[in-house]
Amino acid sequence: MERSDAIIIGSGINALVAGALLSRGGWKVLICERNNLPGGAIATSTTATLPGFTHELLSSWHPLFVGGPAYAELKRDLESHGLVYANTTMPTGVVCSDGSAVLSTDMAATSAEFERLGDGQAWNEMLGEFTKKIDLAFGLLGADLWRPNALKLLRAARKRFGNRGLVATGAELLEPAAPWLDRTFSSPVSKSLLAPWALHNGLGPDDASSGFITKVISAAVAFGGMPVPIGGGVKLVEALSAIITTNGGQIITGADVKKINVTNGKATGVELVDGRKFEAKKAVLASTTPQALYGGLLKDQELPSTTVKAAESFRYGRAAIQIHLALSEKPIWKDDARLADVAIVHVLDGMNSLSESVNASNRGYLPKRPTIVVGQPTTMDASRAPEGQSILWIQLQENPRTILGDLAGQIDPGDGSWNQERLNAYADRVLAQLGEQITNLASATLAKVVLGPQQIEAMNINLVGGDPYSGDCRIDQYAIWRPLSGASGHRTPIKALWQIGASTHPGPGLGGGSGYLVAKRLLSKRFF
């Protein structure tokens, strides 16, 4: 086979974004994907439950992609290959022990909702203050922290806040969500509306920087809604793949890379498990975890011992569980009919149950009253269910990777593994709790699929132990410390070898940020 300019290992969002940008920039790209389909954690299925129902088995919501730089740059091409986004004015809501609430993209409606909760002024002040810094906040989360642009960002922040203000902003960046919410809002419903969003960046409300993340996501959702591709994430995968192939690139599936070939300290190609070899002229990009890269693909290479040790100690976060339901009708929310039109509803007791559940699962315990993330994709994309029917995308994030016990004292942890019996018992308990809020949940359920940590890892080798974010996102493994405390961003100790993907900055999610940053760097003339 002809040599490629770049070989990309894996075909998740970051790999596809990098592949699309490089291909458009004239590079000949080869993507090697070990699974039978490209997309990684984008896994749309039309066969999981019943005919006529389309489920996102893993990731589902695209605000990070639509709000990110890759979409801005590729939008026209993606649309020409059939990608269409649907959006909503009601991106999120909550039901907790103290009531319910809905956050809208209509500023006046959200302001009125917080007013009803007694927190109108607090919300408006928070949003107003945060909006003044939003460019810096998104800049920090999107910038290549090892490039001169990061210094530019720092200088801009210093100019705006002064030296003392900059130090104070650092403290604000590190504040956990719980004390910030307690200080800012009076209603437990307001707090419960915002606090669970930290989970979607792998954090709990007591973790450092979860306050900042909660503000970022609240603002992003309030301004940008909750877009999803019509027909499912597969449409984004198809459109990105089409950009690559129409520009001369290739995506091969069933192509499990076993080794990165290195000559004179420079990555020169890859070797597959089945013996096939491919050469790369300019770069190899690995969308893998640090352990898979340094302990697997490069295991025969001489590497700095600090890098190897740092990779070995890279930690994974809590596991995810996904429950997919095909429903014969729309869900009927007991206390607040508006919730039927909301994209993502969090169901939880309140801030204390959230904190307890995160902590319990970090320590190996099944929580008593977990936070239930109830996604309703059919509120935006009617094509995902037959007329009049609907689906639910239910996510649980507060699950231990290995079970040591059950705070409710009901499920025997056995050998600690998520076997089918324990998974089903836990999923049934959660669905019973959800049934307290959705009155027709049991009667309307036509079919159900439960994916536990084992199934999730089996679908994508980067989701170690079912960790949906390919690595713990607490601050010591985030920003300049992601993927490794001692690494210089996406660079590796091997020349022409770059690491991308959720294990690297700017972390998990469908933004495609690391693929974007590395591709831009490779395409720029001054990247060395």
Ligand X SMILES: Cc1cc2nc3c(=O)[nH]c(=O)nc-3n(C[C@H](O)[C@H](O)[C@H](O)COP(=O)(O)OP(=O)(O)OC[C@H]3O[C@@H](n4cnc5c(N)ncnc54)[C@H](O)[C@@H]3O)c2cc1C
Residues near 488 by beta carbon (within 8 Å), at least 6 away in sequence: 146
Q: Roughly how many angstroms between the first and final C-alpha of the chain, as a whole number?
A: 28
CB of 24 to ligand X, least distance (A): 18
Q: Which is nearer to ligand X, 53 or 393 (CB)?
A: 393
Q: Which is nearer to ligand X, 122 or 345 (CB)?
A: 345
Q: Which of 396, 411, 400, 410 is nearest to 347 (CA)?
A: 396
CB of 11 to ligand X, least distance (A): 5
Q: Which is nearer to ligand X, 301 or 352 (CB)?
A: 301
Q: Which is nearer to ligand X, 169 or 376 (CB)?
A: 376
Instruction: At 10, list the tokens.
Output: 């894996």
Q: Which residue is nearest to ligand X (CB)?
A: 12
Tell me the pairing of strands 257-263 and 266-272. Answer: antiparallel
Q: Which of 286, 268, 314 is nearest to 490 (CA)?
A: 286
Q: Which is nearer to ligand X, 190 or 201 (CB)?
A: 201
Q: Which is nearer to ligand X, 116 or 299 (CB)?
A: 299
CB of 293 to ligand X, least distance (A): 9
**Structure letter (DSSP) for residue 3:** P
**Structure letter (DSSP) for residue 294:** I
Packed helices 210-224 and 148-174: angle between N→C axes, nearest 10 degrees: 110
CB of 158 to ligand X, least distance (A): 31
**Structure letter (DSSP) for residue 106:** S
CB of 492 to ligand X, least distance (A): 15
Count of residues for the chain?
528
Q: Which of 256, 466, 227, 517 is nearest to 343 (CA)?
A: 227
CB of 465 to ligand X, least distance (A): 12
Binding-site ranges for ligand X (CB under 6 A): 9-15, 32-35, 40-41, 58-61, 64, 256-257, 287-288, 292, 320, 322, 456, 460-463, 468-470, 501-502, 508-510
CB of 442 to ligand X, least distance (A): 24
Instruction: At 158, list the tokens.
Output: 């210093």
CB of 357 to ligand X, least distance (A): 17
Q: Which is nearer to ligand X, 35 or 301 (CB)?
A: 35
Amino acid at 71: Y
Q: Which is nearer to ligand X, 41 or 145 (CB)?
A: 41
The three-state (H, E, C) secondary structure of 299-355, written as one string: CCCCCCHHHHHHHHCCCCCCEEEEEEEEECCCCCECCCHHHHHCCEEEECCCHHHHH
